[in-house]
Chains A and B, each alone.
Chain A
Amino acid sequence: MAEMMYRDALRKALADAMAADPDIVVIGEEVGRYGGAYGVTKDLIREFGAERVIDTPISEPAIVGTAVGAAMTGLRPVAELMYVDFLGMAMDQLANQAAKIRYMFGGQIGVPMVLRTQGGTGRSAGAQHSQSLEAFVMHTPGLRLAMPATVADAYHLLRQALTRPDPVVFIEHKALYALKEDVDLGAEPPPWGKASVLREGGDIVLVTYSRQVHYAMEAAAALAARGIEATVIDLRTLNPLDFDTVRAHVERAGRAMVVSEGAMTSGVAAELAARISEECFDFLEDPVVRVAGEDVPISVSTVLERGSVPSAGLIAETAERMLR
């Protein structure tokens, strides 16, 4: 076991994957000489050269489109979108091209690329640099979606994403880059597409992913002190979605809460709540409750920013009300 930062685990995943597979190239704004806006690709250019760590102009659509063409012709590109908020710029290349090429072309070819980006609140970065847009991706057939919450997953999910045959959108959380955890990267990771059950308790299941995993764990600890035992499920990937694990635990506990930083309406939490309601109906003691982002843009004010997304306090308070 060694202590490692989320950011460094990501960098190590890229470096290890690039060393193992000469067809992996990194392409994006400031990924080379600058080392990445959040330092994830720091020094990769020294190790692998400018032909494999490719600095681009500020051209998000063409960055993603270039990755699509490269992936179709034998490379395994990692395109970086500096903020998930820029997805709108690149959405045609992601949703109309990358996601649909295998299908439209009758299975002739896939697009084995990874689109690395980061989202979420926590840095007072304002409405255009703080969103949680995973629902856009999850709503698009043909895309895989990974959202690591832990340092170990930052490493393993990225390594796994770089072996997948289909496009993977890999959304990091900006507030987790400096997260330090003890990890043993030599240990066998859970398989791709499998959720992690981080804590087991018989009263309620908290289903979540990305940074909210940490809030859910904090809430679960607080609840335990008050005699309420919660299961916490980190989905790790939203596509594939490991609903079997969710179902098994919800059927046992009879209560489920879905926690997501994304805006509540039509969000990931809505999809999860609908599935739980449909598939676990006979086991539910209470309605499935969504604890999600407010339906508002994110403010620069830290008071408003914090208030617009779930907190450990809100999760714990909601669970207590459900069990009262």
Chain B
Amino acid sequence: MNKPMGAEGRAAGSNSDLLGLYRTMRRVRTFEERVGELFVRGQTAGSMLHLSIGEESAAVGVTAAMLPQDTFTTHHRGHGIFLARGADPMRMMAEIGGKEAGYCRGKGGSMHIADMGLGHLGANAIVGGGIPAVVGAGLSARHRKNHAVSVAFFGDGATGQGILYESMNMAALWGLPVLFVCINNQYGMGTRIDQATANTALHERAIAFGLEAETVDGLDVEAVAEAARRRVDGARAGRPGFLAIDCYRFYGHARKDKSPYRDAAEEEAGRARDPVAFARARLLERGLVTAAALDALDAEIGAEMDATIDFTIAADEPPLASMFRDVFAPGEPEPEPVRARIDRVLARD
């Protein structure tokens, strides 16, 4: 490839001191809140939006442990991971809104966003669909000796997919520089993890394949970052790993989902386990920063993310002719438009 430069990503995600982690988590949360607003306003394309609010520590803690040459794939709830890796929130929001200025020129959207520059091999709308690609990236890294780790991010829902086990088995068998990160937000759409599997200690199944595996509490971003560093370093040394991060999906599966399948008491308890609030409280408790300074930081981030909405609404739609571009490589003939074919067929004498 396509060497991920990643310097930018590292800058945003590698601020591994607590203030840096807090700042990135706050950016993720605020971005996600704005995504919700963009949708409510209904002024752009993109109907499939899955927010990661409540799961910020996973995105931020793991990306903080990654190096610039590393690559990754994400699931459909991956905004936070990409932003924490260093994505430009303007281009992200524009992509989510289906605009030409987006990372994928409006063709990918929320669930198919990617950026080779940051090593993002793609978000995926097929549960588990992006997982085996990291095994391939691991083979590439071994073959090219570039010391890159490839990380698959997925939700607890993907633990129901066979391809996860095929991929873990192959990564372990070949000792590839690969890490599987399961962001366990307790729900695959409306099905709670204990309604989907009898053994909810998800890392145990990775151990069964010979991976180094652990579960970490997503409430504490420092703990996540530390566990991620252990696992990323292990993967880089040829010991593929698995990291489950326990958290809670604060809101529904997607925008219109009001979560009728879970009760208010559960939601209240879940939302009390807020990694952003937890980090903030700890910062204050340690006397590292004042509340006023954090408020100012939050306001600055709010303004930054507000701008993504205005930018996206004002941004150009992709030109219609771009539809035929990139089905195949540049220089290959583009597919013939249906209208052109009809014209040709009816043009006879």
Contact = CB atoms under 8 A, between A and B. Distances in A.
B170 A62 contact: yes
A97 interface: yes
Interface residues of A, number: 48
B133 interface: yes
Interface in B64-106: 71, 73, 102-106
A188 interface: no
A51 B124 CA distance: 29
A57 interface: yes
Contacts of A65: 129, 131-133, 135-136, 163, 167
Nearest to A65: B132
Interface string B166-196: 1101100110000000000000000000000
Contacts of A27: 139
A97 B129 CA distance: 8
A51 to B, nearest CB: 7
B143 A75 contact: yes
Interface in B302-349: 325-330, 332-333, 335, 341, 344-345, 348-349
Contacts of A266: none
Contact of A73 (B140, B173, B328, B333): B140
Which applies to chain B's interface (DSSP): helix, strand, loop or mixed? mixed
Contacts of A62: 132, 135, 163, 166-167, 169-170
Contacts of B333: 240
B282 interface: no
Given A57-B173, A278-B345, A281-B348, A108 B137 contact: no
B136 A106 contact: no
B105 A107 contact: yes
Contacts of A240: 333
Interface stretch (B7-15, B111-119, B267-275): B111-119
Interface residues of B, number: 59
Contacts of A92: 126, 129, 163
Contact of B121 (A23, A54, A72, A282): A72
A183 to B, nearest CB: 28
A35 interface: no
B327 A141 contact: yes
Interface string A265-288: 000000000000011011000000
A257 interface: no
A190 interface: no
A31 interface: no
A142 interface: yes
Interface string A67-96: 111111111010000000000000011001
Interface of A: 23, 25, 27, 51, 54, 56-57, 59, 61-62, 64-75, 77, 92-93, 96-97, 100-110, 141-142, 144, 165-166, 240, 278-279, 281-282
Nearest 4 pairs of A and B residues by beta carbon: A65-B132, A69-B136, A69-B133, A70-B136
16 contacts: A25-B139, A54-B139, A62-B132, A62-B135, A62-B170, A69-B135, A69-B140, A72-B137, A73-B150, A75-B139, A92-B126, A105-B107, A108-B104, A141-B327, A142-B328, A281-B345
Given A70-B137, A166-B329, 7 more contacts: A57-B173, A66-B136, A71-B136, A75-B140, A92-B163, A102-B327, A104-B122
